Each structure stands twice: as structure tokens, then as C-alpha cells.
């Protein structure tokens, strides 16, 4: 099944470059769903040149004009939700119903929200005898991951364009189709040439070249902490702006007076979403020592609902992981957890029956995990939950903070006041209180090795501006 007729790269408002060269694999059955262009430094240079040439004109447009482009793209995305959802299901493996709701629903909100709030953003204000201007940082290199590909693209592209920046996007090698479909929308919307460019190809080669290009003013990167650290070093050598959204090992803290059943079920759901391939996944469940056995049984039972299978099948709740490499890394960490004394509650490293054709991993839970164990410290990026125990609130907070990451988390307690008191002490970028819903207007980003910078809402626009003051 080929779902994309390759047209090359989208540079300066047109499709260009050699066609074909790189296969996009369906992780559910390893079939090829598309063949796309493998870019080179030549295409990157052309895209950066187009973005640089378009910058002055785009910065000079009114905020209303920029918002109108975003709104038009958002409207087209809304009309084509089914096409985008199917493409992402085939390249990523998330079940189709969830892909439409999350993988397309969130980026749709990003375009719509940014178009709406841009007009109220304080691009210019008076401070005494000065006029303070928030001005576009310039040409932005957006380098995005494969797990929530369109969401991460929209969270960078929409606010960058609203700020007056121009963008060169290098989407993930494993999931590039949604980026090319988005370029189709920008072309159909009549967006000014050069403001949004897409170059596909190997990240190690063209991603690094894009990030270090002297005409790129800012890097916005989502991906691994290892790659983020490398890009930060490269950016520092050029005194270049960089925003990083990296790994996570987020904790769900359940205090003794919490609704245990509700908290554990919600944590299992959050851990296994997208087959565990979520940077903000709640992968550590911290429960009171006295309630461990009860929590383990609730988690075991909740896991039964996660039916593995073809993500196009409506009965499927858990699809494959993205690749052979990803699956083998997850299996290795599961085996490591067993070797280090964790108690296997359900799942395991062996392949699920009847699903040999794809990259499937059983939803897996370990109990009796030490706070310093590999499973409690390393990001698995797969459907694996570690259950830990705490003596009291202070111990639970200390365990939650015992991580080099700080991206997300949750706290459950019998009262909002008690949960909030604990949440304020946890060093992480966002925390759900008693199951609080995700807010697409709130800032998203991390502490510590989870990165720096914030995305979404007005906070996303703030990342892409420089401050200038005019004295009168």
C-alpha cells in the first residue's frame, strides 16, 4: 500500500529534488507504505536560503495576516483529519481511532489556538520612555521526532510562523509522511513561498547540517537527550538559540488517602498510550507500601484491556512499537529489570503470540522496583510500568525527584490541597492533579535533562522572539 506519491522536498513553495530513495515502513507488518526522497546538504542549503530570503517579507506582514495563514492551514487540516490519521497510523502504529483524536487532534488545536491568540500576544508595549518590541528570532530549524510527529511539528511551526519567523523542517526519518501532507496544505493555502520548507532524509547527516547552518538563527528540537545535548553543544559554538524537549521518566505519585483504583488505572493508561512511546509517559507508579499488593492487582487487571493487534482494527488498543531497533531495546530493558530483582506482574520480553509480522511488545508491569534500578531510571519508550513503594508523602516526593529527568508527572490524593502541596515539591515541567486534563494552552517542557524552553499557547510564541527596545 503506497499512500504518498513522492514529489521531492518542499522548498520555497514548490516541490523539488530527486524523488524516491527511502522506504517508510509500516511497523505493524513491515510492509512499505511509501518511498520518499532522501535529502542531501544541497536541499538543506536551498531550504535555508529560501527561508532567509522570505524572512524580511514575512516579518513585515501584520499579525493578522500571519494568523490568517495558520487558520487556513488549520481549516484544511480539519477537513483532512482522516487522511492524516491513516498516514500516521501506518507510519507510527497508533490505533486509528486514537491517532485521529490525538495525533491529529492536538496539532489541529495548535494551529487553531495559535491563530486565535497571536493577535493578543504583546509583540509591542510601552515601558516608560521605551517601546519594547518582541521581534522574530529569524530562520528556525525545526527537527522533530517520530512518536507524535505532526503534534511536534505543529507545536513548533505554528508559533514560529506567528512570531514572524520562517521555518525549515526536518521531520523524523521513520515518520515523515505527515510532514509532507502538511506541506501540501501550506501549498494549497497559498502561503508565501519560503516561510515553510520541508526536507526529508537521514537526521545524522542533514539534521546536523541544518542545525549548524550559519544562516539558521534558532534550533527547535524534540528527541533524545543524547542528541539534544549534542545539538546544544553545536548551538553554543555559534551562540545560537536552541529550545529542547527531550526525554522523561515521569512519576505518578499516589498518596495514602487517594482513590487508588482510579489513580492506578489512569497511570496504566498514561504509561501504555502510543505503546509507551510518549516522552511524558507516566512510567513510575509510586504507591504507599501498605497498599502495594492492592495496587499491583488493579494494574494487572487494567492491563487486560490493552488488546494488541493491527492498529487499523477497531478492536486494537495497543499497536506495535516503531521499529526493530526500538523493540529490541525495550526487550533488553525488560530482561534487565528481571535480572535486577523486579517482580514481573504481567507481560515480559517474549514476543506476543500471533503477531510475528510486526514490532509488537507485550504491555508489561514490574513490582518491587528499587528507586535506583535501571527500570526506574532509564527511559524505556515502550509499554513498561515500574511500581515502586513509598513510606509517606516525603518519601514519595523524594523518589519522584530521584531522576535526571523532569518532564511530567501526576499526584493523586484525597484532597486537592494535599496533592498540590506534593506537586509543588516535584521538579518537573507539568503535573496532573488527581487526573487533571491535558491543556493545549498551558506551557509544555521540562526541567533537568528533559530540556529547556516551552511549547504551546502563548508560551510557544515566546520561544521564537527576541526583545528589542526603542528609547524615546
Residue 270, Cβ neighbours under 10 Å: how many? 22
HEC string of the chain equals: CCCCCCCCEEECCEEECCCCEEEEECCCCCCEEEEEECCCHHHHHHHHHHHHHHHHHHHHCCHHHHHHHHHHHHHHHHHCHHHHHHHHHHHHCCCHHHHHHHHHHHHHHHHHHHHHHHHHCCCEEEECCEEEEEEECCEEEEECCCCCHHHHHHHHHHHHHHCCCEEEEECCCCCCHHHHHHHHHHHHCCCCCCCEEECCCCHHHHHHHHHHCCCCCEEEEECCHHHHHHHHHHHHHCCCEEEEECCCCEEEEECCCCCHHHHHHHHHHHHHHHHHCCCCCEEEEEEEHHHHHHHHHHHHHHHCCCCECCCCCCCCCECCCCCHHHHHHHHHHHHHHHHCCCEEEECCCCCCCCCCCCCCCCCEEEECCCCCCHHHHCCCCCCEEEEEEECCHHHHHHHHHCCCEECCEEEECCCHHHHHHHHCCCCCCCCEECCCCCCCCCCECCEECCEECCECHHHHHHCCEEEEEEEC
Residue 14's nearest CA partner among 178, 186, 139 is 186
Look up residue 172 and give its three cell numbers.
Answer: 523524523
Residues forming beta bridges with residue 284, ordered by sequence position = 251, 386
Is 245 among the residues known to form the active site?
Answer: yes
Residue 416, Cβ neighbours under 10 Å: how many? 13
Q: Which residue out of 165, 279, 378, 379 is catalytically annotated?
A: 279
Rg (CA), the chain: 22
Residues 183, 40: contact at Cβ < 8 Å? no
Look up residue 161 and give its three cell numbers.
Answer: 510562523
Q: Which residue out of 25, 245, 378, 458 is catalytically annotated?
A: 245
Q: What residues are annotated to the active site?
A: 245, 279
Amino acid at each position: 500500500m503506497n499512500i504518498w506519491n513522492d514529489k521531492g522536498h518542499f522548498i520555497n513553495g514548490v516541490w523539488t529534488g530527486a524523488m524516491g530513495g527511502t522506504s517508510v515502513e509500516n511497523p505493524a507488518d513491515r510492509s512499505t507504505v511509501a518511498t520518499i526522497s532522501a535529502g542531501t546538504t544541497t536541499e538543506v542549503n536551498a531550504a535555508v536560503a529560501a527561508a532567509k530570503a522570505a524572512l524580511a517579507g514575512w516579518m513585515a506582514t501584520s499579525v493578522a495576516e500571519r494568523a490568517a495563514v495558520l487558520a487556513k492551514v488549520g481549516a484544511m487540516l480539519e477537513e483532512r483529519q482522516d487522511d492524516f490519521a491513516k498516514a500516521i497510523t501506518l507510519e507510527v502504529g497508533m490505533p486509528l481511532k486514537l491517532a485521529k483524536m490525538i495525533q491529529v487532534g492536538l496539532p489541529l488545536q495548535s494551529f487553531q489556538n495559535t491563530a486565535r491568540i497571536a493577535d493578543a500576544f504583546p509583540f509591542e508595549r510601552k515601558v516608560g520612555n521605551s517601546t519594547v518590541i518582541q521581534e522574530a528570532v529569524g530562520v528556525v530549524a525545526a527537527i522533530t521526532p517520530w512518536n507524535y510527529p505532526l503534534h511536534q511539528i505543529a507545536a513548533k511551526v505554528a508559533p514560529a510562523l506567528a512570531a514572524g519567523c520562517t521555518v525549515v523542517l526536518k521531520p523524523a526519518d521513520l515518520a515523515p509522511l505527515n510532514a509532507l501532507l502538511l506541506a501540501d496544505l501550506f501549498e494549497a493555502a497559498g502561503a508565501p513561498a519560503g516561510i515553510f520548507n520541508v526536507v526529508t532524509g537521514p537526521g545524522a547527516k542533514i539534521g546536523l547540517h541544518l542545525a549548524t547552518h550559519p544562516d539558521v538563527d534558532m534550533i527547535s528540537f524534540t528527541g533524545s537527550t543524547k542528541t539534544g545535548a549534542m545539538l546544544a553543544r553545536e548551538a553554543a559554538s555559534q551562540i545560537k538559540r536552541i529550545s529542547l524537549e527531550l526525554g522523561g521518566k515521569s512519576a505518578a505519585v499516589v498518596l495514602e488517602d487517594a482513590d487508588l483504583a482510579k489513580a492506578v488505572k489512569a497511570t496504566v493508561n498514561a504509561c501504555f498510550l502510543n505503546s509507551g512511546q510518549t516522552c511524558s509517559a507516566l512510567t513510575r507508579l509510586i504507591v504507599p507500601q501498605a497498599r502495594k499488593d492492592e495496587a499491583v492487582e488493579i494494574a494487572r487487571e487494567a492491563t487486560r484491556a490493552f488488546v494488541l493487534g493491527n492498529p487499523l482494527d477497531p478492536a486494537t488498543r495497543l499497536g506495535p512499537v516503531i521499529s526493530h531497533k526500538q523493540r529490541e531495546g525495550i526487550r533488553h530493558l525488560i530482561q534487565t529489570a528481571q535480572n535486577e530483582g523486579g517482580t514481573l506482574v504481567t507481560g515480559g520480553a517474549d514476543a506476543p503470540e500471533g503477531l510475528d509480522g510486526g514490532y509488537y511488545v507485550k504491555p508489561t508491569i514490574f513490582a518491587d522496583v528499587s528507586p535506583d534500578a535501571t527500570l526506574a531510571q532509564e527511559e524505556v519508550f515502550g509499554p513498561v510500568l515500574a511500581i515502586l513503594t513509598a513510606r509517606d508523602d516525603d518519601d514519595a516526593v523524594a523518589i519522584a525527584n530521584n531522576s535526571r529527568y523532569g518532564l511530567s508527572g501526576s499526584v493523586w490524593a484525597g484532597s486537592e490541597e494535599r496533592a498540590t502541596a506534593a506537586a509543588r515539591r516535584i521538579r518537573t515541567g507539568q503535573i496532573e492533579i488527581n487526573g487533571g486534563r491535558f491543556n493545549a494552552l498551558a506551557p509544555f517542557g521540562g526541567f533537568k535533562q528533559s530540556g529547556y524552553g516551552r511549547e504551546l499557547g502563548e508560551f510557544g510564541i515566546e520561544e521564537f522572539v527576541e526583545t528589542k527596545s526603542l528609547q524615546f
